[in-house]
C-alpha cells in the first residue's frame, strides 16, 4: 500500500509552514493515519548571509509558503489536510491535487532511495546499458553514497575509467 503513496504540495499561509507540519503530525498521530500520511516536510537549506562584512550560515525554507506531504490520497486524507489550520489548499488545477512526478521528487531531493550495490572492488563486469554496452571491465571504486561505480575498461589499447550506475552493469 505504501507504493501508492505520492508526494503532494500544500500551500500555507506565509510563515505557517512549521506550524502546519506540527499540526499535521499531531493529527496523523491522533487519528491513526500513519498508514496513509507517511511524511510531512518543510525543505530547508543552509545559505551564507553576509552583513557588514560578517558571514553567517543561516537555515532558510527552500519553498516559503509550501509544505510537502507524502501520502495516499483518499477522501479522508484530503479532508484532514485541507482543513488543517494554516493550510490554504493543495497545489494543482482547481480543487484536484496533483502529485509530484518521480523526476520532480528526485530533483527536490525530498525522498531518498536506498542504493543497493551487489558488486565489490576488483569484480569483473559487463556493461549492459549506455554507449559502452558490451564492454568488459573491472570495478576500481564504488561510491555507496551516490551509487556511482568506477569501471576500468581497455579502449584503443589504453586503460580508461568510466563512471557508471549499478543498473548499467552485470556481474560476470
Tens of pLDDT, residue by residue over 87-119, are: 999 988 876 789 998 888 877 777 655 567 788
pLDDT at 59 over 90: no
Q: Using CA atoms, how far apart are residues 8 and 105, in angstroms rounded to an integer?
A: 10
Tens of pLDDT, residue by residue over 127-140, are: 999 899 999 999 99
Number of H helices, E strands in the chain: 3, 11
Percentage of residues of the chain with pLDDT beyond 70: 94
pTM of the entire predicted model: 0.62
Amino acid at each position: 500500500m505504501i507504493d501508492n503513496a505520492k508526494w503532494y504540495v500544500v500551500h500555507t499561509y506565509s510563515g505557517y509552514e512549521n506550524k502546519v507540519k506540527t499540526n499535521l503530525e499531531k493529527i496523523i498521530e491522533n487519528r491513526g493515519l500513519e498508514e496513509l500520511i507517511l511524511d510531512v516536510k518543510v525543505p530547508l537549506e543552509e545559505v551564507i548571509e553576509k552583513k557588514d562584512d560578517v558571514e553567517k550560515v543561516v537555515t532558510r525554507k527552500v519553498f516559503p509558503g509550501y509544505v510537502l506531504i507524502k501520502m495516499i490520497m483518499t477522501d479522508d486524507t484530503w479532508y484532514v489536510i485541507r482543513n488543517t489550520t494554516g493550510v490554504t489548499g493543495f497545489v494543482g488545477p482547481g480543487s484536484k491535487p496533483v502529485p509530484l512526478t518521480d523526476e520532480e521528487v528526485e530533483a527536490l531531493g525530498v525522498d531518498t532511495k536506498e542504493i543497493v550495490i551487489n558488486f565489490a572492488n576488483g569484480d569483473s563486469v559487463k556493461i549492459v546499458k549506455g554507449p559502452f554496452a558490451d564492454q568488459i571491465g573491472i570495478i576500481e571504486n564504488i561510491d555507496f553514497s551516490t551509487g556511482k561505480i568506477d569501471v576500468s575498461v581497455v579502449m584503443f589499447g589504453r586503460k580508461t575509467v568510466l563512471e557508471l550506475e549499478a543498473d548499467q552493469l552485470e556481474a560476470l
